[in-house]
Amino acid sequence: MSQHHEKVLERIRLGLVYTETEAAFQAPQRRTEEIFEYNHTPPGDPGRRRALLEAILGSVGERTVLLPPFHAGFGSNVHLGDDFFGNVNLTFVDDVEIRIGHGVMIAPSVTLTTTGHPVHPSRRADFGRFSEPIVIEDKVWIGSNAVVLPGVRIGYGSVIGAGSVVSHDIPAMTVAVGTPCRVLREITEEDLKTRTAEG
List pLDDT tens digits, range 110-150: 999 999 999 999 999 999 999 999 999 999 999 999 999 99
The SS3 assignment for 195 reads coil
Q: What is the mean pLDDT of the chain?
A: 96
Pairing state between β 98-100 and 78-80: parallel
Q: Check pLDDT > 60 for residue 185.
A: yes
Predicted confidence at residue 197, as pLDDT, reads 81
As a whole number of angstroms, the distance between CA 69 and CA 89 comes to 5
Predicted confidence at residue 196, as pLDDT, reads 86
Give the total residue count for the chain.
199
As a whole number of angstroms, the distance between CA 152 and CA 22 comes to 25
Mean pLDDT of 175-197: 94
Predicted confidence at residue 199, as pLDDT, reads 52
Whether cis (ω within 30° of 0) applies to the bond prior to 69 is: yes
Pairing state between β 105-106 and 141-142: parallel
- Dihedrals phi, psi of 79, to nearest 5 degrees: -125, 120
Mean pLDDT of 146-167: 98
As a whole number of angstroms, the distance between CA 89 and CA 97 comes to 19
Is domain 3-187 given the CATH code 2.160.10.10 in the classification?
yes
Which positions are annotated as active-site residues?
117
Predicted confidence at residue 195, as pLDDT, reads 86
pLDDT digits (tens, 9 = 90+) for 13-59: 999 999 999 999 999 999 999 999 999 999 999 999 999 999 999 99
Q: Check pLDDT > 80 for residue 102.
A: yes
Q: Above pLDDT 90, what percent of the chain?
A: 95
Q: Check pLDDT > 80 for residue 90.
A: yes
Pairing state between β 153-154 and 174-177: unpaired
Strand partners, 72: 92
As a whole number of angstroms, the distance between CA 140 and CA 157 comes to 5
The torsion region of residue 193 among left (phi > 0), alpha (psi -120 to 50) and beta comes to alpha
* Lowest-confidence segment of 18-27, 120-129, 154-163, 189-198 by average pLDDT: 189-198
As a whole number of angstroms, the distance between CA 113 and CA 134 comes to 8
As a whole number of angstroms, the distance between CA 77 and CA 198 comes to 44
